[in-house]
Amino acid sequence: MKEGVIDVLMYIFSSYADQDENLPENRDGIDADLRAAGFAPLEIDKAFEWLDGLAEADDVPAIKQSSSSTRIFAFEESQRLANNAQGFLHFLEQSGVLTPQLRELVINRVMALDTDTEVDIEELKWVVMMVLFNSAEDHDEDTLMHYEDIVFADQPAIFH
């Protein structure tokens, strides 16, 4: 199986996000599950490093910016994020799904992916959800479910 770090992360998130009672007790249990699923040990290790970085990056300092300001991507960021992914990130921030701090954390985690290929909008959606669920103490479960609907919807979000 030729899979990348994002594939391992997507598997972890989709397999364990809603299954507190079935979650292996430790990293070794998750590692064993991933190996049984056919993921390469090197990719598993990189995925764990990425998750460690997500946990460590949780203390992003507050960003004060005007609501009319626009985030300009650095050259490396614009090379890593597909154009539609950049636009989607902007949409999520303007919609209130992402705060400026969470936006920066998403960009940080995209840049930490061990890939030379461009991150497309579908991969970005998974990164966004992992960041949102990691910052879940800031959101209640209903809010997270609403955000998940927005992120994975094929149509624009409707706000009431």
Between CA 46 and CA 49 the distance in angstroms is: 5
Inform me whether the pLDDT recorded for 65 exceeds 70: yes
CB-CB contact of 113 with 47 (8 Å)? no
What pLDDT score was predicted for residue 132? 85
**Alpha helix stretches (DSSP H) within 63-140:** 75-80, 83-94, 100-112, 121-134
Residue 32: CB partners within 8 Å, gap ≥ 6? Answer: 24
Task: Give the count of alpha carbons within 13 A of 117, CB side only.
Answer: 9
What pLDDT score was predicted for residue 124? 93
What pLDDT score was predicted for residue 1? 43
pTM of the full predicted structure?
0.80
Inform me whether the pLDDT recorded for 19 exceeds 70: no
pLDDT, one tens digit per residue, over 25-64 is 678 888 998 999 999 999 999 999 998 888 887 666 667 7
109 or 66, greater pLDDT: 109
pLDDT, one tens digit per residue, over 82-107 is 999 999 999 988 888 888 888 999 99
CB-CB contact of 82 with 120 (8 Å)? yes
Give me 45's structure tokens: 């290790």
What pLDDT score was predicted for residue 25? 62
24 or 124, greater pLDDT: 124
Task: Give the count of alpha carbons within 13 A of 43, CB side only.
Answer: 19
φ/ψ of 89, rounded to 5, equals: -60, -45
